[in-house]
């Protein structure tokens, strides 16, 4: 068995491939770096796959918290793992938009699926899952409710601030002036899409465009990105575990190289 682990800022993901390179287990625990999340995710994945740690031949860890995990054979960056996971799951992927809890990434691939260019936004929460968390708190709803609120809007409130702190104040002002939470929710999704659109332009995006990360579960984000880019943006299968799947694929391939050399 081959193990891929992706330790993010707000969640831990695990994927397991068998000897035929088939995905046999995948788990997500909403606890990230510095927590017990990775060990909980591993326990769940091993149970689902009906294996133990002794059955694992090779392990690769990726993600924001990869340096905190000492039991892997190798560490690989999340850029490479998201690219590998995306091409494992879907054909003809050219552009990957990954929005996590604390950062956002846009990756453009070569024809052979390797990374041609990428850009990251990791110094500011704008355009990330954290931005949506703040918006949900201000609007008095759960983060999972933002998409349905946005779909009920009859207008769109412009949120011009690129800083999450200032955007929060801007939203509070809009609400104080009587704007509906539905219209503000729509504006929050568009604000993220505009931020990510700028990143896409910097890498030279092209179809097929897919989205990974937990925010890809938000249908309104996909719609807003599609509108901004002028291209359909679709969610990858199992968007939260694409990086872990990519790590597991690398684990399989690294072990294959070792055995062939032997």
Instruction: Give the model confidence (pLDDT) of 198-227 as tens digits.
Output: 999 999 999 999 999 988 999 999 999 999
pLDDT in tens, 5-33: 999 888 999 999 999 999 999 999 999 88
Looking at per-residue pLDDT, the higher value among 251 and 157 belongs to: 251
Q: Residue 102 — pLDDT band, cuts 50, 70, 90? A: confident
Q: 3-state DSSP call for residue 92?
A: coil
In residues, how long is the chain?
262
Residues 57-95 pLDDT 10s? 999 999 989 999 999 999 999 999 999 999 999 989 999
The span from the CA of 146 to the CA of 144, in Å, is 6
Q: In what order do the strands lie in the sheet with 12-17?
A: 23-29, 12-17, 2-7, 58-62, 74-75
* Token couple for 18: 């068998």
DSSP calls for 47-62: HHHT--GGG--EEEEE
| 30-39 confidence digits (pLDDT tens) | 998 889 999 9
Residue 94 and residue 113: Cα distance in Å, rounded? 8
Average pLDDT over residues 183-198: 91
- What predicted TM-score, i.e. pTM, was given to this entire model? 0.91
Instruction: For residue 113, give the nearest of 98, 134, 92 by alpha carbon.
Output: 92
CB 193 within 8 A of CB 224: yes
Give, in degrees to the nearest 5, the angle at Cα 14 between 141 and 16.
140
Give the chain's domains with CATH numbers. 1-90+237-262 (3.30.420.40), 92-235 (3.30.420.40)
């Amino acid at each position: 068995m081959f193990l891929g682990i992706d330790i993010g800022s707000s969640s831990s993901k695990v994927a397991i491939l068998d000897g035929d390179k088939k995905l046999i287990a995948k788990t997500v625990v909403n606890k990230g770096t510095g927590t017990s999340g990775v060990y909980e995710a591993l326990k769940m994945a091993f149970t689902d796959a009906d294996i133990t740690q002794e059955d694992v031949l090779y392990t690769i860890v990726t993600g924001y918290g990869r340096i905190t995990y000492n039991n892997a054979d190798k560490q690989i960056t999340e850029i490479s793992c998201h690219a590998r996971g995306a091409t494992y799951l879907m054909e003809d992927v050219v552009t990957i938009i990954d929005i996590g809890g604390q950062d956002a990434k846009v990756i453009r691939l070569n024809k052979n699926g390797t990374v041609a260019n990428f850009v990251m936004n990791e110094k500011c929460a704008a355009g990330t899952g954290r931005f949506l968390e703040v918006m949900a708190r201000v609007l008095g709803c759960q983060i999972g409710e933002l998409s349905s609120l946005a779909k009920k809007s009859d207008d769109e409130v412009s949120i011009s601030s690129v800083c999450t702190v200032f955007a929060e104040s801007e939203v509070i002002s809009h609400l104080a002036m009587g704007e509906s939470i539905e219209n503000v929710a729509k504006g929050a999704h568009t604000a993220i899409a505009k931020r990510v659109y700028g990143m896409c332009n910097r890498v030279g995006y092209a179809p097929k465009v897919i989205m990974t990360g937990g925010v890809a579960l938000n249908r309104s984000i996909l719609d807003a990105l599609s509108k901004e880019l002028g291209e359909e943006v679709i969610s990858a299968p199992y968007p939260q575990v694409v990086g872990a799947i990519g790590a597991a694929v690398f684990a399989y391939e690294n072990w294959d190289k070792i055995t062939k050399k032997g």
